[in-house]
Amino acid sequence: MSKNFMRSAALLLAIASAFTMGVIAPGAPEPEMPAIEAPAPDILMPDIPMFEVPVIEDPWFGYLPPEMPDKPLKADPHIAPSAHFSFEELVGDDKKRDKPPTEFPDKDTFKIVIDKGNCVMTVYDREDDSIVRQMLCTIGEPETPSPRGTFKMGKHRVRFGRFVDFDCCAQYWTEITRNVYIHSILYREKSAKTLIRQSYRELGKAASHGCIRLTVPDAKWIYENIAPGTKCEFIKAEKDEALRESLALAPLPKKKK
Mean of pLDDT over the chain: 84
pLDDT of residue 174: 98
Beta strands in the chain (DSSP E): 110-115, 120-125, 131-136, 139-140, 149-152, 157-163, 168-177, 180-184, 186-187, 206-208, 212-214, 231-235
For residue 111, tell me if it sits in a domain. Answer: yes
Domain range enclosing 177: 81-246
**What is the tens place of the pLDDT at every residue in 130-153?**
999 999 999 999 999 999 999 999
Among 60-74, 100-114, 205-219, where is mean pLDDT lowest?
60-74
| Residue 101 belongs to a domain | yes
Q: What is the CATH number of the domain that holds 213?
A: 2.40.440.10
pLDDT one-digit tens code per residue, 75-124: 999 999 999 999 999 999 999 999 999 999 999 999 999 999 999 999 99
Is residue 205 situated within a structural domain? Answer: yes
Asked whether 169 and 189 are in contact (CB, 8 A), the reply is: yes
In a domain, 68, yes or no: no
Count how many domains the chain has: 1
Residue 252 lies in a domain: no
Question: Is a pLDDT exceeding 80 seen at residue 216?
Answer: yes
Q: Is residue 57 part of a domain?
A: no
- Within-domain flag for 72: no
Residue type, 105: P
Tell whether 220 is covered by a domain. Answer: yes
Whole-angstrom CA distances from 7 to 1, 18, 29, 218 are: 11, 17, 22, 102
End-to-end Cα separation, the chain, in angstroms: 99
